[in-house]
Amino acid sequence: MAELIFDWKHIAFAANRAFTETYGFSGSQGLTHIEGVLIRPATGTSRSLLVFMHPSSTLHLLPLPQAMARAGYHVLCAGSRYQRNDTTLIMENVVLDLGAWIRAAREDWGYDKVVLCGWSGGGSLAMLYQSQAERPTITQTAAGDPVDIAGAHLRPADAVLSIAAHSSRALLLTEWVDPSVRDESDPDDRDPLLDLYAQPLDQAFSADFLAAYRAAQAARMKRITTRVLEVLERLRKSGGLEAERVFVTHRTMADPRFLDPRIDPNGRKPGWSYLGKPEVVNSGPVGLGRVSTLRSWLSQWSPAHSRADSLVAGKAISVPFLALECGADDAVPQPHTGRIFAAVASQDKAMQVVPKANHYFVGQPRELTAAATLVSDWLAARDFG
């Protein structure tokens, strides 16, 4: 097995902010700090850099980035200013963070080509970044605060990959959120007719039940967003210094697909998810959107406000594009990859499926090798070496 070198990378830059949004030195002393890990083979050189970035997760421990480095590529696992905590995350700021990484790759580290690898929740980030690098438009966050993406002179990537990626965090949460919750301040106040985990597990969910369930999910998301907008407006009109609120969204892992493998079927394990048993995760501490500020909700979780939507951003992407679907993905719903592929405007685009692969390729060396080979062959055919 090829020896790999892991190099810590750090970028700091000035960023205006109305209030401190990330805890500690790195977020409170006038500079924005971002960190990443550059993984490369111990021998050989590369003209191209593969950039993996997620809005809040760190990716250097994932199997695929390391597999790509063993295949001979230089791989940057880039972190945002919100690394490991998405409570205050503003997607527009993460786009600027990604822009800083790509600028450093080209101007400071000497790479000729950059390939954006949008893994999981990083897929919609990569798509939003590339769309704004090709056709910049954004001057405000989803909450209306100033952010100069249009004037940031983002450097476009030379290709974009969407790997085991969902359409957007907002759309995913809408499909996962528990619609049985009637009172956001009391997660035990639930509608038993919509309580997924109170339904018999030995029968398929009917079309009528699913239609009512999906409508109730969308209605709950809309209620939360309406409340967020009301509180934010009240704070702005108060004339005081109070500018933000933090709130909890209970029960956010209740997609019927996790229990019924006949809904949008793939090779996933029934009654399971990438985070464990869905019923446990539903009320656990690490569910999607569990803790959020008002502004963060609008930027990353509200379907009506978040810009990080691959189905929209893909229409502005012209560079070569590859979508990779995991055939037994236990996180991303099966239809998402195909919808993303269809939305992308590029004339050079392809979609591949890795049969039996779970979301992380955990315990799957054969599927991991297959994925790395698919990506490597696609890159080599386009002279990314």
Q: Quick: pLDDT tens for 270-320.
A: 999 999 999 999 999 999 999 999 999 999 999 999 999 999 999 999 999
Over residues 92-147, the pLDDT tens digits come to 999 999 999 999 999 999 999 999 999 999 999 999 999 999 999 999 999 999 99
Q: For residue 9, is pLDDT > 70?
A: yes
Buried b (16+ CB within 10 A) or exposed e, 172-187: bbbbbbbbbbeebeeb
**Whole-structure pTM value:** 0.96
Q: What is the mean pLDDT of the chain?
A: 96
How far is 132 from 340, CA to CA, in rounded Å?
A: 17
The phi and psi torsions of 210 (rounded to 5 degrees) equal: -65, -40
Longest dimension (CA), the chain: 62
How far, rounded to the nearest angstrom, does the alpha carbon of residue 148 sit from its chain's CA centroid? 22
Give the range among 19-23, 153-157, 315-319 with minimum mean pLDDT.
19-23
| AA identity, residue 28 | S
Phi, psi of 296 (to 5 degrees): -65, -40
Q: Is 38 left (phi over 0), alpha (psi -120 to 50) or beta?
A: beta
Q: Is 80 exceeded by the pLDDT of residue 201? A: no
Domain 4-168+308-380, architecture per CATH: 3-Layer(aba) Sandwich (3.40)
Token code pair at residue 312: 């929209």
Instruction: Say if residue 165's pLDDT is above 70.
Output: yes
Answer positive or negative: Cα dihedral of 232, 233, 236, 237: negative
Percent residues over pLDDT 70 in the chain: 98
Residue extents of the structural domains in the chain: 4-168+308-380, 171-301
Q: What is the dihedral of CA 94, 98, 101, 105, to 10 degrees?
A: 180
Binning pLDDT at 50, 70 and 90, where does residue 2 land?
A: confident
* pLDDT value of residue 267: 97
Rounded distance between C-alpha atoms, residue 11 and residue 137, angstroms: 25
Pairing mode, if any, of strands 113-119 and 159-163? Answer: parallel
For the residues of 17-47, what is the DSSP string, one character each? -SS--S-SGGGTSSEEEEEEEEEEESS---S
Give the residue among 151, 167, 168, 155 at the shortest CA–CA distance from 49: 155
Predicted local distance difference test score (pLDDT) of residue 375: 99
Residue 1 confidence (pLDDT): 67
Rg over CA atoms, the chain = 21
Cα 321 to Cα 345: distance, rounded to the nearest angstrom? 9
Q: Distances in Å between the alpha carbon of 186 and those of 180, 183, 286, 353?
A: 11, 5, 18, 42
Provide the 10 A C-beta neighbour count for residue 286. 10
The more confidently predicted of residues 354 and 17 is 354
